[in-house]
Structure 1
Amino acid sequence: MKHVVLIVLLFLSLGAFSQAPEKLFAEANTFYKEANYERALGVYLAIEEQGLESSDLYFNLGNTYYKLNKVAPAIFYYEKALKLNPANEDAAFNLAFAKRMTIDVIEELPKTVLQRFSINVIQKLPFDTWALIAVIASFLASFLFLLYHFSGGTRKKLLYFNTTIFAVFVMLVSVFFAFQNYETVQKNRVAIIFATKAEIKNAPTPSSEEVFELHEGTKVIILDELDNWKKIKIADGKVGWINDQELKEI
């Protein structure tokens, strides 16, 4: 009997724990609607501290920081929301507004056709979504092949054969896109400058020469790291070293 009671209590506690983030999220949303942004921020951050990840949570954190006129955290969380869900149009729209608050004006290098295709097609969905599409397509291809094998009419066989080939094609393309997306995410370590003004050096030492400077909210790519320094590249191709206390990796 004691074991039964313990099991029931365990399930009840697990259920209460799973509901807690939802209640906190609703509470934070209420504070946000009431324009009590400081309290909303505290509750949203409490949810994040539980180790939970959500594009909606990061989107709301970005909105809250934007309302508090904190440009770097706002951009940071909009970028995190888009990393989890590249199709989050609201996050992309608000990110564009938040970037207008930044000081640095950096002209991006022109992209190749393959780079534009990757951004506009492959990276529009997370790699796990592409993997899910591949799994669904593989099951569909198997089912259609069975229909082709057991069907009697010539027209039906032709229809099932063609649709099977198409499903296999979708599966292969989705697997390729999933791997490409995963490699892109792993290779591109992106960070946001949090320092009001950051001096970018030509070497990972405090006494080295400053090559350019960046300001809060600017997005950079991390190329390498040494001790408490990170080698970064910005959109126009410039490269330099920055103290890791002045930026935050997404």
Structure 2
Amino acid sequence: MMKKFIYIFLFLVSFVGFSQDNEALFRKATDLYNAKKYEDAISKYEQILKNGEDSANLYYNLANAHYKLSHIAPSIYYYEKALQLAPNDADIKNNITFAKNMTIDAIQPLPKTDWQKFKENTIGRYTYNGWAVIGVVCMFLFVIFVSVYFLVYKSLQKRIFFILAGIMLLLCIVTNIFAYIQFDVVHDSNFAIVYVPETNVKSEPNASADEIFMLHEGTKVELMNELNGWRKIKLADGKTGWLPEPDVKKL
């Protein structure tokens, strides 16, 4: 028993030390960024990622450093990663718009369905963790209102707390459904960023196939099929084709 406790204690100590090391790296990277030493800042931020930690702030700062160096693909890639963790952050949305202005490809998205708009504008307002927290709060309030319902005696008060409990239960169910949907959106994401200056999109997954269009760095694509080192991609305007797998980086 004592040996187990020692192992657990040592693990926790090492974890705390690990986090502190990453915090020190983050502060150092931020200082380098403020000193306009962007390449050095990027190296420090990437070290934190290699250490197994990520956050919206980390991706955001990393994207900003790449943007300062006019690295189109990496800046858009890391802004997109930041948005996955903080979908409602105005600064990230604003900066990714500036970064996308550096791209060459002008792609007109297809009109969105009502369900797609609802998922993006309503469910996408919070991360799945955010919806889960709201669900827990609603369940907590549900328990309180049910408890009060049994404690009060007047019929009007009982009716009020019964209705409030019902509303909280309904909200708890809805927010958990939203959390589940948002979890699928993030973890089943099949999007990528073109990570090379330019790439020829082919009609078939081989080098001798006809070239149907060209894409440039920073363009966001949807990943579909995979075959022999080629990826079938789909653009926001509905166009599809094949390109070499190393030419894109999955979000």
Question: Within 5 A, what are the aligned runs for 1:211-222?
Answer: 211-222=212-223
Aligned to 2:197: 196
More displaced stretch, 176-185 vs 55-64 = 176-185
Deviation at 1:179, TM superposition (A): 2.1
Aligned to 1:161: 162
More displaced stretch, 124-133 vs 100-109 = 124-133
Aligned to 1:71: 72
Distance 1:233 1:152 in 2: 62
TM-score (norm 1): 0.93
Aligned to 1:209: 210
Distance 1:8 1:139 in 2: 33
Deviation at 1:13, TM superposition (A): 4.1
In structure 2, give the amino acid aligned to 1:160: F
Distance 2:105 2:243 in 1: 16
In structure 1, give the amino acid aligned to 2:236: A
CA RMSD after TM alignment: 2.1
Aligned to 2:48: 47
Alpha carbons of structure 1 residues 15 and 114: separation in structure 2 relative to 1, 3 Å: closer
Instruction: State the SS of the aligned residue for 2:75.
Output: helix
Deviation at 1:224, TM superposition (A): 1.5
Aligned to 2:134: 133
TM-score (norm 2): 0.93
Alpha carbons of structure 1 residues 141 and 39: separation in structure 2 relative to 1, 3 Å: same
Distance 1:127 1:162 in 2: 27
Instruction: State the SS of the aligned residue for 2:237.
Output: coil
Unaligned runs of 5+ in 2: none
Distance 1:6 1:192 in 2: 42
Unaligned runs of 5+ in 1: none
Aligned to 2:16: 15
Deviation at 1:5, TM superposition (A): 9.2
Deviation at 1:186, TM superposition (A): 3.9
Instruction: State the SS of the aligned residue for 2:204.
Output: coil
Distance 2:158 2:134 in 1: 25
Deviation at 1:6, TM superposition (A): 8.7
Q: Answer yes or no: is 1:224 the counterpart of 2:215.
A: no
Alpha carbons of structure 1 residues 10 and 220: separation in structure 2 relative to 1, 3 Å: closer
Deviation at 1:235, TM superposition (A): 0.7
Count of paired positions: 250
* CA shift digits 1:114-164 (9 cap, x unpaired): 211111111121122212222221222122111112211222212211111
Deviation at 1:79, TM superposition (A): 0.1
Deviation at 1:17, TM superposition (A): 2.0
Instruction: State the SS of the aligned residue for 2:212.
Output: strand
Deviation at 1:100, TM superposition (A): 0.2
* CA shift digits 1:169-225 (9 cap, x unpaired): 111211221222223334431100011111111111111111111000000011121
Distance 2:184 2:6 in 1: 48
Distance 2:10 2:193 in 1: 44
